Amino acid sequence: MKKYRIMFVCLGNICRSPLAHGIFEKLLKDANLDGVVDVESSGTSGFHRGEKPDPRMTGVAASHGVPLDHLRSQQFKKEDLENFDLILPMDRENQEHIKKMMTSKDQKEKVKLFRDYDPEGKGLEVPDPYYGGPSGFEKVYNIAERTCRSLLGDVKPLVV
Ligand code: 4NP
């Protein structure tokens, strides 16, 4: 059976989207769903292509038992709009960037803001922690973890 494919997207693919990628990957493994759901992440920019996630993000994720060190930054491509079932940008700027690459209504329906799944902040953006202090990374972790848990609850009935 074809796997259900989810893509998380931010600007650099070194902070927010690799975090969501790592958390969701772990949740899938723990739920024995890694065989039926595929997860990826990317950035709308190619600034950090090939790089590991930001060590500040990797450190916070590791403190919560989530490994990110195996991930490498890649740029979001037009074909991803065809190849993924659900595309979740972290903020509206990146959502707009993706929208400009769309060629069909089908693709439009696949793209939703990540925090549309946040039970405590539906429709809000994930703040960019890159230029801020350490508390920003912890805050982003908390948002991403509860949003990924809720996302898994929504995706599960589609794949089991
Ligand atoms: P991300 O964070 O989009 O969550 O990966 C950023 C990473 C790098 C830059 C900005 C945001 N940057 O300007 O290089």
Q: Is the dihedral of CA 59, 132, 93, 155 positive or negative?
A: positive
Name the residue of 15, 95, 114 to mutate for ligand 1: max ligand atoms within 8 A of Cβ.
Answer: 15
Ligand 1 centre distance from Cα of residue 160 (Å): 35
Total number of domains constituting the chain: 1
CA of 44 to the centre of ligand 1 (A): 10
Q: How far is CA 18 from CA 36, 103, 152, in A?
A: 20, 26, 17
Q: Which of 47, 60, 73, 128 to mutate to test the pocket of ligand 1 (most atoms within 8 A of CB)?
A: 128
Instruction: Pick the catalytic residue from 15, 16, 118, 148.
Output: 16
The reply to whether 128 belongs to the active site is: yes
Q: Which domain holds residue 116?
A: 4-159
Ligand 1, atom 6: nearest CA belongs to which residue? 12
- Specify the pLDDT at position 1: 81
Alpha helices in 31-133 (DSSP H): 55-63, 80-83, 92-99, 105-110
Q: What is the CATH number of the domain that holds 31?
A: 3.40.50.2300
pLDDT by 10s per residue, the chain, length 160: 899 999 999 999 999 999 999 999 999 999 999 999 999 999 999 999 999 999 999 999 999 999 999 999 999 999 999 999 999 999 999 999 999 999 999 999 999 999 999 999 999 999 999 999 999 999 999 999 999 999 999 999 999 9
